[in-house]
Amino acid sequence: MTHYDLVVVGTGSGNTIVTRQFADRKVAIVERGTFGGTCLNVGCIPTKMFVHTADLAAVPSHSSRLGVDEQLVGVRWQDIRDRIFGRIDPISASGSEYRLNHPNNVNVTLYHGTGRFTGERELTVTAADDGQTEVLTADQFVLAAGSRPIVPFIPGLEETGFHTSETIMRMERLPGRLGIIGGGFVAAELAHVFSSLGVDVTMIVRSDLLLRHEDSEIAKRYTELAQERYTVKFRHETVGVQRRDDGIVLEMLCPDGSDELVVDELLVAVGRTPNSDVLNVEAAGVEVESDGRVIVDKFQQTAAEGIYALGDICSPYQLKHVANHEARVVQHNLLHPDDRIESDHRYVPHAVFGAPQVASVGLTEEEAIEQNIQYTVGRQAYADIAYGWAMEDTTGFAKILADPATGKLLGCHVIGPQAATVIQPVIQAMSFGLDAHTMARGQYWIHPAMPELIENALLNLKLKN
């Protein structure tokens, strides 16, 4: 049994906590998977590198309307894959090496293995290489162990074999036909990637919409556009999977009775679940929600004294920028226990890097109605601003919700080119309390640039003052 001042479980955002400010403390870091966490290895970074490549591959499909005739000559999947992971894998390896051997880390011990709580402030770590166990005790713990893909029970799925977002990007070759179970942001982004690279993509969705948690206008528009690019089977539930000579067969129930789909590879992308069960957090006195999320207070502290949590293991957002924010909060509170700060989750933005991009912050119109909040809506189409007109974008738009009496910004939703960038001024305005009129008229807006989309949507709000 080895005692530490602090044990951090997880090397994603949790790894950023341990800086030179902790040089006077004996620290352990525990990682059961690849050093660097989800975002670096199987999430945000590699997927966006694939998305950028897919965006380039898709250009010839629509460039001719601008008078530029282009052709996609070929796609070298292994070169695409190896360029991406040839950059990412060394970063992960160097991070691990830094924690293991750098002189700045003489007070830090890195454990590669799976940790499970076996008592109050007692974590038993099973080494990944030889299965040996070691018991770690500590005055304080930080749970930053993230989440993993949900794998639903479907008869035959395990025996047949399938991919999740954590494996599909490292395939040896592109499939001719890809089935995707799911209609959320992971499914949408990877559908865009593989369809742009020439794969015949079919999405299997239980509801009537893709991205159904977005504002309904955004979800409907995205769904319309997706159906123009690949097959989407709505209100289909996969009830069986088997492998035949001609491929992987999906048996589905649908409004018409039953349906069948044959593909070469299958991606399951129906969401992610927190790794609290892997850690057996209840043994440490940590409480969890019904969906497995660790319960934390405004300081990111759990119900167990001395145990903090951050990121996907406790957050409903499952976003890297949220985990990073929470890591800064936890770090401060560990260093300054008598002057703790609170997490700020008022205006958490997110983006979907599909085709087109989607970005959102604040209330959707449906949420405003459900919460009985007074609002007015300002809309602006890309087609009606100069740069959107130049691109001949006829489908994208921005939608802003504001309080009609005060002009307080309540939410913003964008679908179209560079939506994740275009929305940023609204996030800033909401965070610092700028009302719609001040934001629209209190600054210059570069003409002709895409942020004019936001300027015009603000001006289109019907405010009382």
pLDDT digits (tens, 9 = 90+) for 262-293: 999 999 999 999 999 999 999 999 999 999 99
Average the pLDDT over 335-344 and give the result: 98
Q: Give the whole-angstrom CA distance, residue 83 versus residue 81.
A: 6
Q: Give the whole-angstrom CA distance, residue 177 versus residue 195.
A: 10
Contact 430, 347 (CB under 8 A): yes
Kind of pairing, strands 247-254 and 237-244?
A: antiparallel
At 337, list the tokens: 């226990």
Q: Is 31 helix (H, G, I), strand (E, B) or coil?
A: strand
Average the pLDDT over 317-332 and give the result: 98
Taking only the tens place, the pLDDT of each residue in 414-451 is 999 999 999 999 999 999 999 999 999 999 999 999 99
Taking only the tens place, the pLDDT of each residue in 1-10 is 999 999 999 9
Phi and psi based region of residue 213 (left: phi greater than 0; alpha: psi -120 to 50; beta: remaining) = alpha
Q: Give the whole-angstrom CA distance, residue 387 versus residue 400.
A: 19
Contact 115, 124 (CB under 8 A): yes
Average the pLDDT over 89-96 and give the result: 97
Average the pLDDT over 295-318 and give the result: 98
Taking only the tens place, the pLDDT of each residue in 99-153 is 999 998 999 999 999 999 999 999 999 999 999 999 999 999 999 999 999 999 9
pLDDT at residue 375 in the model = 98
pLDDT above 90 (res 465): no
Taking only the tens place, the pLDDT of each residue in 217-244 is 999 999 999 999 999 999 999 999 999 9
Q: Which residues make Cβ contacts (< 8 Å) with residue 67, sequence separation at least 6?
A: none
pLDDT at residue 369 in the model = 98
Average pLDDT, the chain: 97
What's the pTM value of the predicted model, to 2 decimals?
Answer: 0.96
Q: Give the whole-angstrom CA distance, residue 427 versus residue 88.
A: 29
Q: Which residues make Cβ contacts (< 8 Å) with residue 360, sequence separation at least 6?
A: 214, 215, 218, 349, 350, 351, 411, 412, 413, 414, 423
Average the pLDDT over 319-339 and give the result: 98
Confidence grade of residue 407 (pLDDT, cut at 50, 70, 90): very high
Confidence grade of residue 179 (pLDDT, cut at 50, 70, 90): very high
Confidence grade of residue 65 (pLDDT, cut at 50, 70, 90): very high
Active site residues: 447
Taking only the tens place, the pLDDT of each residue in 143-165 is 999 999 999 999 999 999 999 99
